[in-house]
Amino acid sequence: MLEVKNLRKRYGAIEAVRGISFTAQKGEILGVLGPNGAGKSTTMRMITGFLPPTEGTAVIADFDIVEQPIEAKRQIGYLPENAPLYAEMTVFGFLDFVAGIRGYRGAERRRRIESAIERCRLETVRHQPIETLSKGYRQRVCFAQAVLHDPLLLVMDEPTDGLDPNQKFVVREMIRSMAAEKAILISTHILEEVEAVCTRAIIIDAGHIVAEGTPADLKARHPSGRLDEVFRMLTQGTAEQVTAHR
């Protein structure tokens, strides 16, 4: 479903991502963990075609994001961090706008909108202006636009950041409900997110992968059996070096 091949991103002398490779299959929820500045968001942006890689590529359902960007992007649903919305539009109006951009017309367009509203539990606010919604509902609207075209790969950057516990529960339930039919990639620095929803995780530090496995595999790497201790063990040294040079 997704094969990431030796992705690198350089900004002059700075190498933000240093040869990252991994796969994600249908039915998997793969967490991408790392401290701030580790290269998580840059990696996601290259996978989705938002940023061109300096080297390497990502292949989504047999389409290369560098060589076949239009075909590859059609397979992707993308929920970026702080996803933009048109606040003056209603929920239905915004999703209708997105459906039109994606080329849907007539009955198919309406079916896609209704399906996204149902899957993301937006029925009670469908006619409300987005500017009147809580942050949790706004996040669900962003989620709805990402799944409206029923993509094979769903990519989410910090999908529950800033939400309260009840809102997080709903979003995680939505993610789990879609996992059987998609490969799902979640970038986060929230460790509980990985334990709550991910079937497998990779930890990125300083632009490269330092660990990979199921949450249970990762927790077994430390005597405490705690993911936060494993995370610190693998990433704290680099974080301390960065802090020291500021």
pLDDT in tens, 187-234: 988 888 899 899 999 999 999 999 999 999 999 999 999 999 999 999
The pLDDT score that the predictor gives to residue 237 is: 59
- The string of pLDDT tens digits covering residues 44-58 is 999 999 999 999 999
Do residues 170 and 96 lie in contact, with contact meaning Cβ atoms separated by under 8 Å? no
The pLDDT score that the predictor gives to residue 240 is: 42
145 and 156 part of one domain: no
62 and 184 part of one domain: yes
94 and 159 part of one domain: no
The range of the structural domain enclosing residue 18 comes to: 1-75+151-165+172-246
232 and 207 part of one domain: yes
246 and 137 part of one domain: no
Report residue 216: phi and psi, to 5°.
-65, -40
Do residues 46 and 7 lie in contact, with contact meaning Cβ atoms separated by under 8 Å? yes
pLDDT interval class at 242 (50, 70, 90): very low
For residue 239, pLDDT beyond 50: no
115 and 184 part of one domain: no
161 and 45 part of one domain: yes
Domain boundary among 116, 150, 184: 150
The pLDDT score that the predictor gives to residue 246 is: 32
The pLDDT score that the predictor gives to residue 190 is: 83
52 and 133 part of one domain: no
The total of structural domains in the chain comes to 2
pLDDT interval class at 28 (50, 70, 90): very high
179 and 224 part of one domain: yes
134 and 67 part of one domain: no
- The string of pLDDT tens digits covering residues 50-83 is 999 999 999 999 999 999 999 999 999 999 877 7
Do residues 219 and 226 lie in contact, with contact meaning Cβ atoms separated by under 8 Å? yes
For residue 244, pLDDT beyond 80: no
143 and 156 part of one domain: no
